[in-house]
C-alpha cells in the first residue's frame, strides 16, 4: 500500500507537466480536423478494408482502409483511424459494411491530414474531451501534489517526534535505579 501511495505522489507530479502537454496536443488535433473539414476538398473514397486492432487492457483501435483518385487522377491509398462510435456504425464483427466514404483533405498538402467526413464531429468531440481531461490532470497535479508532500512531511515529523519521546522514556527508565 505504501509503495502504491509513493507512486501516486509522483504520478501527480508528472501530471503537472503531462496534463497540459496532452491538452495542447488534443487541442491541435481538434483544430487540424476542423480546418480540414472547413477548407478541405471532398472526395469519395472506396473502402478497401478495415480492421480492429485489439490492445492489451481491452482497448480497441479501429482503422479504415481507403483508396481514391485525386483531382489529377492520381490514385491514393491510406489507412485512417476512426472513432469507436463511428466504427460501431460501420463494422459488423470484424468486417466493414461500407463501400464508399466521403473524405476531406487539403489538396495543397500532398501528405496532409485526411478526415472521414462522417466521423469528423465525433473525432472533434473526442479531442475536446481529451483536452479537458489534460487540463484537469494538470490542475489536479498542481493542487494535490504539494498537499501530498506536505502531509507526508508532517507524518514523517510526527513519527520522528514519537521515536524521540519513546527514546527519552527508555533513557529515563534506565537512569532510575
- Whole-number pLDDT of residue 177: 61
CA 13 to each of CA 117, 134, 144, 145: distance values in angstroms, whole numbers, following the listed order: 39, 14, 9, 6
Domain that holds residue 119: 2-138
For residue 54, report the phi and psi dihedrals to the nearest 5 degrees. -95, 125
Question: Number of folded domains in the chain?
Answer: 1
Say if 151 falls within a structural domain.
no
The answer as to whether 159 is a domain residue is no
148 in a structural domain? no
Looking at the domain assignment, is residue 162 inside a domain?
no
Identify the segments of the chain with pLDDT beneath 70: 1-6, 110-111, 177
Q: Residue 55: what pLDDT?
A: 81
CB neighbour class for 71 (10 Å; exposed up to 12, middle 13-18, buried from 19): exposed
pLDDT tens-digit readout, 27-49: 999 999 999 999 988 888 999 98
The pLDDT value given to residue 2? 63
Q: Flag whether 156 is in a domain.
A: no
Residue 39: inside a domain? yes
- Residues making up the chain, counted from first to last: 177
Amino acid at each position: 500500500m505504501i509503495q502504491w501511495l509513493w507512486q501516486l505522489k509522483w504520478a501527480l507530479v508528472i501530471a503537472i507537466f503531462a496534463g497540459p502537454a496532452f491538452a495542447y496536443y488534443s487541442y491541435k488535433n481538434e483544430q487540424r480536423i476542423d480546418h480540414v473539414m472547413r477548407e478541405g476538398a471532398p472526395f469519395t473514397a472506396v473502402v478497401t478494408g478495415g480492421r480492429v486492432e485489439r490492445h492489451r487492457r481491452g482497448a480497441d483501435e479501429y482503422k479504415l482502409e481507403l483508396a481514391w483518385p485525386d483531382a489529377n487522377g492520381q490514385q491514393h491509398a491510406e489507412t485512417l483511424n476512426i472513432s469507436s462510435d463511428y466504427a460501431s456504425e460501420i463494422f459488423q464483427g470484424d468486417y466493414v459494411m461500407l463501400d464508399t466514404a466521403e473524405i476531406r483533405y487539403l489538396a495543397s498538402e500532398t501528405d496532409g491530414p485526411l478526415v472521414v467526413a462522417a466521423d469528423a464531429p465525433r473525432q472533434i468531440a473526442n479531442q475536446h474531451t481529451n483536452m479537458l481531461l489534460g487540463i484537469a490532470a494538470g490542475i489536479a497535479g498542481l493542487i494535490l501534489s504539494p498537499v501530498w508532500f506536505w502531509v507526508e512531511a508532517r507524518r514523517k515529523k510526527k513519527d520522528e517526534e514519537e521515536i524521540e519521546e519513546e527514546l527519552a522514556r527508555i533513557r529515563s527508565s534506565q537512569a532510575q535505579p
